[in-house]
């Protein structure tokens, strides 16, 4: 019988000053179960929106405005989640997590798309990595 061990995450120290004054509170907020469930819902919702888009409008031309609004909404929400995570666990704690590095790459590419920065050749294909976010739920 396997026992699932709950990972203990070390919070940033108390009584920090300057821009890090609220880092501990940000970490507590980010780790709160309601925030984690919300982020899981965002990941699942984004995954479902991508599936529905491919199923209903494979060319992405019939309901282009709808898909753009969904894409932009998810990009902004994931960017906000990434910013909170980065502030809460900067520097080493953040970059030591493979999921955080993956999120950074995926969200950065999403934001470049939102800002309509053309991605050359194979970099444009990296947008498909967003679908792999769903594995973070398991």
Cα dihedral value 62, 66, 67, 72, nearest 10: 150
Q: How far apart are CA 35 and CA 39, in angstroms?
A: 6
pLDDT at 138: 66
Distance of CA 91 to the CA centre of its chain: 17
pLDDT at 55: 95
pLDDT at 130: 73
> In this structure, what token pair is assigned to residue 52?
């529905």
3-state helix, strand, coil in the chain (%, to 5): 70, 0, 30
Tens digit of pLDDT at every position of the chain (138 positions):
555 555 678 899 999 999 999 999 999 999 999 999 999 999 999 999 999 999 999 998 999 999 999 999 999 999 999 999 999 999 999 999 999 999 999 999 889 989 999 888 777 777 777 777 777 766
Q: Output the CA–CA distances (angstroms, integers) from residue 127 to 34, 101, 120, 121, 133, in the order listed.
A: 28, 15, 12, 12, 11
């Amino acid at each position: 019988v396997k026992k699932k061990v709950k990972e203990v995450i070390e919070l940033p120290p108390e009584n920090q000053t300057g821009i890090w004054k609220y880092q501990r509170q940000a970490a507590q907020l980010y780790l709160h179960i309601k925030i984690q469930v919300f982020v899981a819902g965002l990941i699942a919702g984004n995954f479902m929106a991508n599936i529905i888009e491919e199923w209903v409008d494979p060319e992405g031309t019939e309901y282009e405005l709808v898909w753009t609004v969904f894409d932009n909404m998810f990009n902004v929400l994931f960017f906000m989640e990434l910013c909170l995570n980065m502030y809460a666990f900067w520097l080493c704690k953040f970059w030591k997590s493979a999921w955080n590095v993956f999120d950074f790459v995926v969200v950065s590419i999403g934001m470049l798309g939102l800002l309509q920065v053309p991605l050359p050749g194979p970099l444009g294909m990296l947008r498909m990595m967003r679908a792999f976010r769903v594995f973070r739920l398991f």
